[in-house]
A and B are shown apart, each in its own frame.
Chain A
């Protein structure tokens, strides 16, 4: 029986010729990732094993991004625990304030993930790297600890849903709108335990950052992983960022899919997910009059350079509405630097936005933009659960960078075409 892209990568890493959906396998890991929230729990578990070294000091990776720069004494203590552990175990890829970025934007940029890799990360958005044709998935801290110890993890081989993309996106429409549309269609558990595989002639028109945004939110449909077929654009991106050699896996012609959806990219409209689930989507024409208090543009979902650039193109020469706080968070130091060199920071500051150092910050209600009771935010982040960005009665509306920037100008959820 034919295998999906995901199944082929898993089979290769389990030393098997073929695998079938439902099979339990033990796979070799190319990278094990953690952040400043999940790593301390993993370190505590790792220490119970009594091992004096990690399985491969070049493959274990820790990024201090969630509550860093340290938001309080407790957060500082957690970062210190990670820092000390990585120093003691001589972990090569430890990213602290000054080098760090939001982990899922940082790893592709640093060339730490290439096509064909198997990556686990103690962060649910680890599924992002599927955009580069890797199998990557979020796990908990215990899996991370065991991964650090033995370089392996157990998985149940997933079945898959195929998304065949065709056509091209219209102006001001991006990967965020596509993935919100898909989650609205299949629901927050629509891909539970399964892979979401993106193929078709429409893939070529999507930038790598659009693809990263889409696979990033595969977890928001419950998926084990999201993965894009590798094309010339993927290989060019990897060649630019990594000195490792990608291994390209293509799904077999006779691969079995649970379902297939054909998505015409030219029909996708700006899409907004209303509180308190990413599946509560409405197209921009149906949002009504939703007044907002805050806009956040950033995160592992939409803090890429193209996202920041798109927001700047809308905010250029315009002002953020009175009583709206607009927070821009480039996801990495390189993105920040490029935004500075290209004059984007000036555009934001003149418009009345603030520009923050890279951090997950407000996305998970950590710091740098917490909401008060009853406040509303339009955010390019990935979750709008109860209390996600602050007070339990606050509300988060998930949208693209273009919608978020346009909304910052008007003070209500707005179609970018209205202000351009």
Chain B
């Protein structure tokens, strides 16, 4: 998996209530969810995000509610990859299950700034900040998780008999 995009950066403890406020959870339409993504902490996100952009953040990204609408809204808004110092556990598994690429890399998440261009090669575990020329190593996913991602998410894995 390889990505390249411009970074949009947030801080620590970005919770699922700000990723997609509960007042919009009366729909499962992904485009509608995306149109409200991040609005309670960043009213400019939906207008400036471009297809392929990369989100970077601090500790405990995606904490709070289990709403899968959160990674769905991020993915549908065009974000290709989320880099964070750490992820809240339900968000982490939801992102994998729906096929939103995420990577835990404290050094990169700290150093990479808003607007930088980042190239990510998740197969080889390398993040390159093309703006500064600094590269970072990331840990690969465990085989079990890679299997889910390679099969196109958990639903597809079950359909294909990879998880029984």
Residues in A lying within 8 Å of B, measured CB to CB: 24, 26, 37-38, 40-41, 44-45, 48-50, 66-67, 71-72, 74-75, 77-78, 121-124, 126, 138-143, 145-146, 149-150, 152, 154, 188-189, 192-193, 219, 222, 224, 277, 364-366, 383, 385-388, 392
What residues on A are CB-neighbors of B133 within 8 Å? none
Q: Indicate with 1 or 0, residue by residue over B37-52, a CB within 8 angstroms of chain A CB atoms.
A: 0001100000000000
Q: Which of A140, A366, A392 contacts B94 (CB 8 A)?
A: A140
Q: How far is the CA of A368 from the CA of B64 in the complex (A)?
A: 21
The answer to whether A139 and B64 touch across the interface, beta carbons within 8 angstroms, is no
In the assembled complex, 21 residue pairs joining A and B whose CB atoms fall closer than 8 Å, in A order, are A37-B22, A37-B25, A67-B25, A71-B26, A72-B26, A122-B66, A122-B68, A123-B66, A138-B66, A139-B90, A140-B94, A140-B97, A150-B164, A189-B63, A192-B88, A193-B89, A222-B89, A365-B21, A383-B17, A383-B64, A386-B41
The answer to whether B65 and A124 touch across the interface, beta carbons within 8 angstroms, is yes
Binds A, one of B105-113, B115-123, B124-132, B153-161: B153-161
Within 8 A of A (CB), among B80-106: 86, 88-90, 93-94, 97-98
What residues on B are CB-neighbors of A154 within 8 Å? 144, 163
- Of A38, A66, A75, A222, most buried by chain B (CB within 10 Å of CB) is A222
What residues on A are CB-neighbors of B23 within 8 Å? 365-366
The distance from the CB of B57 to the nearest CB of chain A, in whole angstroms, is 13
Q: Indicate with 1 or 0, residue by residue over B58-72, a CB within 8 angstroms of chain A CB atoms.
A: 011001111111011
If A124-B90, A386-B17, A386-B18 touch, whether A48 touches B155 (CB-CB below 8 Å) is yes
The distance from the CB of B37 to the nearest CB of chain A, in whole angstroms, is 13
Q: How far is the CA of A67 from the CA of B27 in the complex (A)?
A: 11
Q: Which of A139, A188, A366 contacts B22 (CB 8 A)?
A: A366
Q: How far is the CA of A18 from the CA of B153 in the complex (A)?
A: 28
The answer to whether B97 and A143 touch across the interface, beta carbons within 8 angstroms, is yes
The answer to whether B28 and A41 touch across the interface, beta carbons within 8 angstroms, is yes
If A142-B98, A188-B13 touch, whether A38 touches B67 (CB-CB below 8 Å) is yes
Asked whether B4 is an interface residue with its Cβ less than 8 Å from the other chain, the reply is no
What residues on B are CB-neighbors of A189 within 8 Å? 13, 59-60, 63, 86, 88
The answer to whether B97 and A142 touch across the interface, beta carbons within 8 angstroms, is yes
Q: Which of B64, B88, B89 contacts A385 (CB 8 A)?
A: B64
The answer to whether A143 and B154 touch across the interface, beta carbons within 8 angstroms, is yes
If A78-B28, A140-B68 touch, whether A222 touches B154 (CB-CB below 8 Å) is no
The distance from the CB of A399 to the nearest CB of chain B, in whole angstroms, is 19
Tally the A-B contacts, defined by beta carbons under 8 Å.
140
What residues on A are CB-neighbors of B64 within 8 Å? 124, 219, 383, 385
Q: How far is the CA of A45 from the CA of B27 in the complex (A)?
A: 15
If A49-B158, A154-B163, A189-B86 touch, whether A139 touches B93 (CB-CB below 8 Å) is yes
What residues on A are CB-neighbors of B65 within 8 Å? 123-124, 364, 383
Q: Which of A122, A138, A192, A364 contacts B86 (CB 8 A)?
A: A192
The distance from the CB of B146 to the nearest CB of chain A, in whole angstroms, is 11
What residues on A are CB-neighbors of B40 within 8 Å? 386-387, 392
The distance from the CB of A391 to the nearest CB of chain B, in whole angstroms, is 9
What residues on A are CB-neighbors of B145 within 8 Å? 24
The distance from the CB of B34 to the nearest CB of chain A, in whole angstroms, is 14
The answer to whether B66 and A146 touch across the interface, beta carbons within 8 angstroms, is no
The answer to whether B155 and A146 touch across the interface, beta carbons within 8 angstroms, is yes
What residues on A are CB-neighbors of B98 within 8 Å? 140, 142
Inter-chain pairs besides A37-B67, A139-B66, A154-B163, 9 sampled, C-beta below 8 Å: A37-B26, A71-B26, A74-B26, A140-B93, A140-B94, A140-B98, A142-B98, A385-B64, A386-B17
- Of B15, B28, B97, most buried by chain A (CB within 10 Å of CB) is B28
What residues on A are CB-neighbors of B66 within 8 Å? 38, 121-124, 126, 138-140
What residues on A are CB-neighbors of B163 within 8 Å? 26, 146, 150, 152, 154
Q: How far is the CA of A150 from the CA of B86 in the complex (A)?
A: 30
The answer to whether A141 and B59 touch across the interface, beta carbons within 8 angstroms, is no
Smallest CB gap from B18: residue in A: A386
Q: How far is the CA of A392 from the CA of B36 in the complex (A)?
A: 13
The distance from the CB of B66 to the nearest CB of chain A, in whole angstroms, is 4
Q: Which of B60, B144, B159 contacts A188 (CB 8 A)?
A: B60
Q: How far is the CA of A234 from the CA of B147 in the complex (A)?
A: 40
Smallest CB gap from B59: residue in A: A189
The answer to whether B17 and A146 touch across the interface, beta carbons within 8 angstroms, is no
The distance from the CB of B42 to the nearest CB of chain A, in whole angstroms, is 11
Q: How far is the CA of A312 from the CA of B63 in the complex (A)?
A: 33
Q: How far is the CA of A139 from the CA of B68 in the complex (A)?
A: 9
The answer to whether B59 and A140 touch across the interface, beta carbons within 8 angstroms, is no
Q: Which of B21, B89, B144, B153 contacts A387 (CB 8 A)?
A: B21
The answer to whether A192 and B89 touch across the interface, beta carbons within 8 angstroms, is yes
What residues on B are CB-neighbors of A74 within 8 Å? 26-27
The answer to whether B88 and A38 touch across the interface, beta carbons within 8 angstroms, is no
- Of B22, B89, B145, B155, most buried by chain A (CB within 10 Å of CB) is B89
The distance from the CB of B61 to the nearest CB of chain A, in whole angstroms, is 10
The distance from the CB of A290 to the nearest CB of chain B, in whole angstroms, is 22
What residues on B are CB-neighbors of A224 within 8 Å? 89
